[in-house]
Structure 1
Amino acid sequence: YNQVFNQVDVLLTPTLPIVPPNIGQREVTINGNMESVRSALLRLTAPTNFTGNPSLSLPVSLSKDGLPMGLQLISKHGMEARIYQFAYMLEQHFHFAK
C-alpha cells in the first residue's frame, strides 16, 4: 500500500462509493450489483484503518438530493501535515460545498 507514495505525495479517492444511505437501509445497488451498505461505506476508508496511513475526508459537493459527498486524501506515515496543507490548497482553489 505504501509503495504508491514513492510516486505521489497524496492519493485522492472518493470518501464513499455511494451517497449517504437512508437510516436503516441495509443494501445498496452499485453498478448493478446488490451489496450491504456497511461493506460499501467501509470499502474506501477501511484500508487506512488497517495500514495506519493518515487520511482526511474533505466535503466537496452535494448530491442532486442535497446529500454531502467527499474526497479522501491519503498520504504516507508521518505526513499528516502534508494532507492538511493539500486540503487547505484545495479549499482555496475550489468552491466546495459548505
Structure 2
Amino acid sequence: MEREDIKRIFEAYFEKYKKTEGDRTAWSAVWLETTGVGTLELNMTKCPKGTTFKIFVNKKKEAQVLGWDAYFAAIGEVAAGYPGLYDEERIFSEMESVL
C-alpha cells in the first residue's frame, strides 16, 4: 500500500475515533491488531508538539516517534523484528472499512 494511502486512511480513522487525553490539548486514536504472532497497537496522538506515534507489540512499547517519516522508519523496524505481525495491506484495508 502506498504511504499516501496509509496517511489518508490513518488520518481519517483518527478524526472519526479520536479521544481526548484529558486536557483537550492532546487527542489519540488507537488501532489494535491481533494475529497468531501477537498483538500490535498503533497509537496516533496529536498535540501541540505534533503528531506522535506509539507502537506497542504484545503490550510492550517498541517505539515512540514524532511525524510520519519517523513512523514509517519505526514500523519497518518493528515489522522486521516481528515477522508476520505487521501486514499494512490488511491493517489499513480493515481500518478503512470501519470509516
TM-score by length of 1: 0.27
Higher helix share: 2
Select the structure of larger CA radius of gyration: 1
Q: Which has the higher contact order (CA 8 A, sep 6+)?
A: 1
Structure richer in strand, relative to its length: 2
TM-score (norm 2): 0.27
